[in-house]
Amino acid sequence: MTELNINHTDTGQTLVFSGRMDADGIAKIWKPACDGISNHAGADLTLDLSGVTYFDMAGAAFVVHLDRTAREQNLKSIRTTGLNPAAASLVERLSRKDLSAPEPAPSAGRIRMFVENQGRGLAAFRDDVKNYIAFFGEICWFFSTSLLRPNRIRWGETWRVAEQAGVNALPIVALISFIVGLVMAFQSAIPMKMFGAEIYVANLIGLAMVRELGPLMTAIVLAGRSASAFAAEIGTMKINEEIDALTIMGLEPVRFLILPRVIASTLMTPLLTVFAILVGILGGAVVILSLGHPFSAYYNQVVGFVSWGDFTGGMIKCFVFGVLIAATGCIRGYQTRQGPSAVGEAATRAVVSSIILIAVFDGIFSIIYYVLDV
Amino acid sequence: MKEPIIQVKHLFAGYNGQAIMEDLTFDINKGEIFVILGGSGCGKSTVLKHMIGLVPPVSGQVLIHGKDMVAARGKERTRLLRKIGVAFQNGALFGSMTVLENIMLPLTAFTDLSDDAARMLALAKLGLVDLSRNSHRLPGELSGGMRKRAAIARAMALDPGVLFLDEPSAGLDPLTSAELDLLIKDLARTLGITFVIVTHELESILSIADNTIMLEKETRGIIATGHPRDLKANPANEYAYRFFNRNPEKEKKP
C-alpha cells in the first residue's frame, strides 16, 4: 500500500512516502503530492523516501517530476532523503535527461483553418487530376511501344493476373447480373402486365443488359475486386521499396508491373461482360417463364429487338472500362505514401476513383451514342 | 543469490508440429542479462516467441515465476504478461499513434494514472532512451534506430521484471548501441530487471551478458552454456570457434 503524509514544519514541509513506489502506487498519490508542493514559495521542501519498500522507474520518474515542479515554484531548498543507492542512481540518471516534450505548434483560427483546408483540397485535386492524366499517358505510351515488341511484355504475369482478376471473378459477376436481370424483369413485369404487354419485358431486359447494365455491373464489380487488389499489391511493393529496387535495376515499373495488369484487365472485362449479359438475360427469362410464356417467345423477342450495333456499343464501352479499372488501381497503388494506413488508403482511393471514372465515361458514351444515333 | 525467474523445460521449438530446435532446457536467474546466441535462421526468435507465449511450442514448458506460460489462459495469462515486456525486432510500434501515445497506451490501460501522470512517466521512459524530443512524432517519421529505442521504452512502460529484447542493437550506430548496452546493464544492476536478449552482436554480448546459451542449426540444440568470455576462450565446437572469431573458413581448431 502506498501512502503519502505531509508534515508541516516551521520553515516548510516534508512529504513522507511509504510503501510501493510503482506505477500503480504513485497513481494514487500523484495529485496530492503535486498539490502539496505548489504555492509554497520561499519555504523548504523535503521528500522523505525512507519508508519506501519498492522503487522502480515509475517511482524515480515521479521523484524527478516532483523535484522539477518544486524548482519551478521557487522554493527555498529542496532535499530528497532516504533513497537507497540503487534508487538514487536511477533518480540521478533520470534527472540528467531532458524529459520535456516539444511544444505543439500554435494552430490558426478555425475559420482560417477551414478556408485553408478547402484551398489545399482543391489544389490537391488539381494536382491529382494532372498526375493521373500524365500517368495514364505514360501507361498508354508503354503499351503502344510494347505492341511493337510483344516479346517484352511479361506474358506469364499477364496470364496469372487474367486468371485472378478475370476467371476468378466469374461467379460474383454472374451472380450480380443474374439478380439484376431477375429483379428488373420482375419489377417491370408487374405494371406491364396491366397492359397485357409483359412479353415486352424481354425487349427491355435485352436492351438494358446489352447496352448498359452488363458493362456497368461488370465494371463496378471489377472496380471493387481488381482495382483494390492492384492498388494493394503495388502499394505494398512501394512501401517495401520493391519499386525502387526495380527502378534501380533499370526495369521500368510501368512495363514490369502495370502493363501486365492493364492488358489482362482489358482483355478479361469484355469476356466477363458477355457472360454478365447472357446471365442477366437468363435471369429475366426466369420471370417470363414463370408468367407462362414459352422460352422461345422470350428468345425471339430478345434476338429480334437487340441489334449488333447495340452489342458493339456495349463491348466498346467495357473495353474502356477495363483499361480504366486496371490503370486506376495501378496508379493509386503507385501513389501510395508511407505509413501503416497508406495501403488501405490507396485501395480505397482506387475503388472510389475507378467507380467515379466508370460513371463519368458511361455518361460520355451515352452522349456519343446519342449524337451518332447508334 | 540464484533464483530462477524463467525455467525452460524440454522445449521443442518450431511451427506446425515441426521442431527446428529440440529439447532445450535452461534457467534464467533474477537480475541476469541472459543472451540467446546463434547464427541467422537457427530459431533464436522462435524460441523467444515461445517464451513470451506468442506462439505455442511443439512441446515443452516455459515457466515464468513458476507459472506455465504455455498453458496459462485468461486472467492468469494477462497477469503473467504484465510481468514481462517485449521489444520486437522491427519495433512493432503502432503507426497511427505518436511515440508518446505508444508508450502511454499500456500505462493508461493497466493503471489508474491520470493522463498527466502517464504522460510524465512515458516521457521519463523516453528520456532514458533519449527520445523525449521526438515524442510527438509518428513512428513512420523516425529512423530505424530511434524506432528500436522507442520499442524498448514501450517494453519498459510498466516496469516489468523481465524484458525480452529481440535484436536490440541491430541497425544502431556504435555509440547508440554502446549507450543501450550501458542502460541495460544499469537497469539490471539497479532494478534487478532480468533481460533476455536475442542477438548476434558479438561486441555487445561480450560486454553485457552474464549468461549465454548458444544454439546451432545443425545439432538442433544448445551447444554451449556459460559466460560469453568462457565460450570464446573454450569454444564448444568448430562452429562456435568460427562464430566467435568471425572466421567463415572451415578449419581445424588451433
Go through the domains of chain B in sequence order and give each one's CATH number. Answer: 32-56+74-244 (3.40.50.300)
CB A356 within 8 A of CB A257: no
For residue B241, the model assigns a pLDDT of: 79
Asked whether the predicted pLDDT for residue B189 surpasses 90, the reply is: no
Asked whether the predicted pLDDT for residue B3 surpasses 90, the reply is: no
Q: For the range B62-69, what are the long-range contacts, defined as Cβ-Cβ under 8 Å and sequence gap of 24 or more?
A: B62/B6, B62/B7, B62/B8, B62/B9, B62/B11, B63/B6, B63/B7, B63/B8, B63/B9, B64/B5, B64/B6, B64/B162, B65/B5, B66/B7
Tell me, yes or no, if B123 comes closer than 8 A to chain A by beta carbon.
yes
Asked whether the predicted pLDDT for residue A11 surpasses 90, the reply is: no
Pick the range with the lowest mean pLDDT from A23-32, A151-160, B235-244: B235-244
Contact A56 B125 (CB under 8 A): no
State how beta strands B4-15 and B18-29 pair.
antiparallel
| Residue of B108, B128, B156, B186 to mutate for A, most A C-beta atoms under 10 A | B128
pLDDT, greater one: B37 or A350: A350
Mean pLDDT value across residues B166-178: 81
Asked whether the predicted pLDDT for residue A57 surpasses 90, the reply is: no
Which ipTM score applies to this complex? 0.74
Q: What digits encode the pLDDT tens for the residues A106-162? A: 777 888 899 999 999 999 999 999 999 999 999 999 988 888 888 888 899 999 999
**Cβ contacts (< 8 Å) between A57 and chain B: which residues?**
121, 124-125, 128, 156, 159, 187, 191
* CA distance linking residue A335 with residue A146, whole number of Å: 23
Tell me, yes or no, if A100 comes closer than 8 A to chain B by beta carbon.
yes
pLDDT band at A367 (very low <50, low <70, confident <90, very high): very high
Rg of chain A's alpha carbons, rounded to an integer? 36
Asked whether the predicted pLDDT for residue A360 surpasses 90, the reply is: yes
Which cell is A278 given?
447472357
Pick the range with the lowest mean pLDDT from A302-316, B199-213, B224-238: B224-238
Distance of alpha carbon A244 from the chain centroid: 22
pLDDT band at B251 (very low <50, low <70, confident <90, very high): low
Asked whether the predicted pLDDT for residue B104 surpasses 80, the reply is: yes
Mean pLDDT value across residues A212-238: 94
For residue A41, the model assigns a pLDDT of: 67
Asked whether the predicted pLDDT for residue B254 surpasses 60, the reply is: no
Contact B156 A57 (CB under 8 A): yes
**Cβ contacts (< 8 Å) between B85 and chain A: which residues?**
none
Which cell is A247 given?
527502378
For residue B250, the model assigns a pLDDT of: 66
Contact B114 A31 (CB under 8 A): yes
Work out the number of other CB atoms within 10 angstroms of the CB of residue B70. Answer: 16
Mean pLDDT value across residues B194-215: 86
Asked whether the predicted pLDDT for residue A52 surpasses 60, the reply is: yes
pLDDT, greater one: A102 or B61: B61
Q: ∠ CA B110-B113-B115 to the nearest 5 degrees?
A: 110
Which cell is B224 given?
554451449
Go through the domains of chain A in sequence order and give each one's CATH number. Answer: 3-96 (3.30.750.24), 127-372 (no CATH)
A196 Cβ partners below 8 Å, 6+ apart?
none
CB B11 within 8 A of CB B60: yes
pLDDT band at B64 (very low <50, low <70, confident <90, very high): confident
Which cell is B23 given?
529439447
User: Across all residues in chain B, what is the average pLDDT?
Assistant: 83
Q: What digits encode the pLDDT tens for the residues B113-167? A: 888 888 888 888 888 888 888 888 888 888 877 888 888 888 888 888 899 988 8
Contact A27 B158 (CB under 8 A): no
For residue A107, the model assigns a pLDDT of: 74
